[in-house]
Amino acid sequence: MAGFIGRKRELGLLDAALNRVLAGGRAGRPGRAILMRGRRRVGKSRLAEEFVERTGVPYLFFTASAQSGLEADLSLFTVAGRESNLPGASAFRDQAPRSWDGALRLLASALPRDRPAVVVLDEMPYLITNDSGFEGSLQKVFDRELSRLPVLLLCIGSDLAMMEALDSYGRPFHQRGTEMVIPPLSPADVRAMIGVAPADAFDAYVVTGGLPLILDEWPAGASATEYLSAAVADPTSALLVSAERALAAEFPVAAQARLVLGAIGSGERTFTMIGRAAGGLPQASLGRALQLLVTKRLVDAVVPLSTKPSRETRYVISDPYLRFWLTFLDRHVDEIERGRGDLVLGRISSSWTAWRGRAVEPVVRESLRRIPDRLPAGTNAIGGFWTRTNDPEIDIVGADREPIARRISVVGSIKWLDAAAFDAHDLARLVQHRSRLPGADDSTPLLAVSRAGTVVDGVLSLGPEDLIAAW
């Protein structure tokens, strides 16, 4: 399936886990658990569905509801058990457990003893929110019953911080599950999925963030302009509605955090300017909102990379798709709904070159982290450098470590224009900026990352083809 381009690794890991269940485990405990997390709409549930369909083993697939309370959750779980293809599914008939202890013991009684099975608990953070005792119940029944059975338990969640915390010391399920992170599709996956050139694949990536649901609507071979022309004319397009639904789930009541997220999405990056753009929030309120956003992995707090410490923290949206949506769509949904998507498209077109140049920077840096063999020796960290006045502002800094380096290994610039190559003027500017970077000197190698190539000597040059190969 097109939606599973790039998922071979994840399916392989799930297959290996099921094989270990089949092998019997140690000390008569074949049962295993996987804590699967990833951003909303990256395809976690679809991955789990594909996995159980491919294996052909009996399974139960339960998806919790954000609106449910404990009683409703238990009722939905019982229905899912009754409608599953587990050999003992009839055990759920005419049952109405009043606690998760009872519901999970009912599950254990329905599982096969002589062959493996899979149990999927999707959107598990909702279960924890609705019943603070759920983790303890799961741990108790897993230890006493499920771990003794040939079952693979998949616990799936989009609340990254909560799912990560499940395995932390002191929590009931600590060290009982293997953590598995499901990333969005990579730029290389995007290229394979929509069939475009490497440079255009990065365009698609900074718009969609690699979310399969949005890419499913992207016509094969289409440019970003062609796709956006259709997407912003459709009020029901995945490009428009995916962020709204994800944010509604993340911030049902945290209005200040949502306001701060919008301020960062509009282009503000410093504490002071974000506070002003958010309506003059008090420092304490702004600090709490930023901490929540960082904890939820929606915002990254980054610092300059050099041999000197810096307090010039910047806040950037972590997800490329959310960055695009907040910049161009968030405040203009009403225009699209009344049929004036042309106004939105006009704003995107007029700002596209400048916005794309900024949006591709973190993607380029992540690509560079994946090809250390193409960079000078000792490049173990990739970041950027800036001052309070942004003079200088350096796109790429390679070093031996972060956030405070001992040695700077490379200094680089990103020029992401369709037809303008990295030229002598760009080189002179990069040399001048290098001279002002703590830890760099005239011998520090230079790097040019350019969409349209490089026409000067004396620099290591990388283009879209090199970056896409990194993935």
Q: Which of 166, 181, 196 is the last residue of a domain?
A: 181
- Six-digit token pair at 115? 């062959």
- Six-digit token pair at 295? 């904890």
Number of compact structural domains in the chain: 2
The enclosing domain of 372 has a CATH number of: 3.40.1350.10
Largest alpha-carbon pair distance within the chain? 78
Nearest C-alpha neighbor of 13 from the set 113, 152, 184, 112: 152
Secondary structure (DSSP) of 197-236:
-HHHHHHHHHHHTT-HHHHTTS-TT--HHHHHHHHTT-TT
Nearest C-alpha neighbor of 296 from the set 423, 152, 158: 158
The pTM of the full predicted model, rounded to 2 decimals, is 0.88
For residue 238, is it within any domain? no
For residue 79, is it within any domain? yes
For residue 107, is it within any domain? yes
The enclosing domain of 101 has a CATH number of: 3.40.50.300
Phi, psi of 314 (to 5 degrees): -120, 150
Nearest C-alpha neighbor of 331 from the set 438, 457, 240: 240
- 35 alpha carbon, distance to own chain's centre: 16
Q: Residue 63: is it exposed, middle or buried by C-beta count within 10 angstroms (0-12/13-18/19+)?
A: middle
Q: Which of 131, 155, 181 is the last residue of a domain?
A: 181
Cα 96 to Cα 50, 102, 127: the distances in Å are 30, 9, 17
Q: Which of 132, 150, 181 is the last residue of a domain?
A: 181
Three-state secondary-structure class, residue 401? coil
pLDDT tens series, the chain, 471 aa: 344 556 888 999 999 999 999 998 767 789 999 999 998 889 999 999 999 999 999 999 999 988 778 999 999 999 999 999 999 999 999 999 999 999 999 999 999 999 999 999 999 999 999 999 999 999 999 999 999 999 999 999 988 888 988 988 999 999 999 999 999 999 999 999 999 999 999 999 999 999 999 999 999 999 999 999 999 999 999 999 999 888 887 776 567 899 999 999 999 999 999 999 999 999 999 999 999 999 888 999 999 999 999 999 999 999 999 999 999 999 999 999 999 999 999 999 999 999 999 999 999 999 999 999 999 999 999 999 999 999 999 999 999 999 999 999 999 999 999 999 999 999 999 999 999 999 999 999 999 999 999 999 999 999 999 999 999
Phi, psi of 153 (to 5 degrees): -100, 120
For residue 275, is it within any domain? no
For residue 291, is it within any domain? no
Spell out a b/e string for 309-345, using b for 16 or more CB atoms within 10 Å of the CB, else e.
ebeeebbbbbbbbbbbbbbbbbebbebbeeeebeebb
- How many CB atoms are closer than 10 A to CB 373? 7
For residue 452, is it within any domain? yes
Boundaries of domain holding 421: 364-469
For residue 303, is it within any domain? no
For residue 296, is it within any domain? no
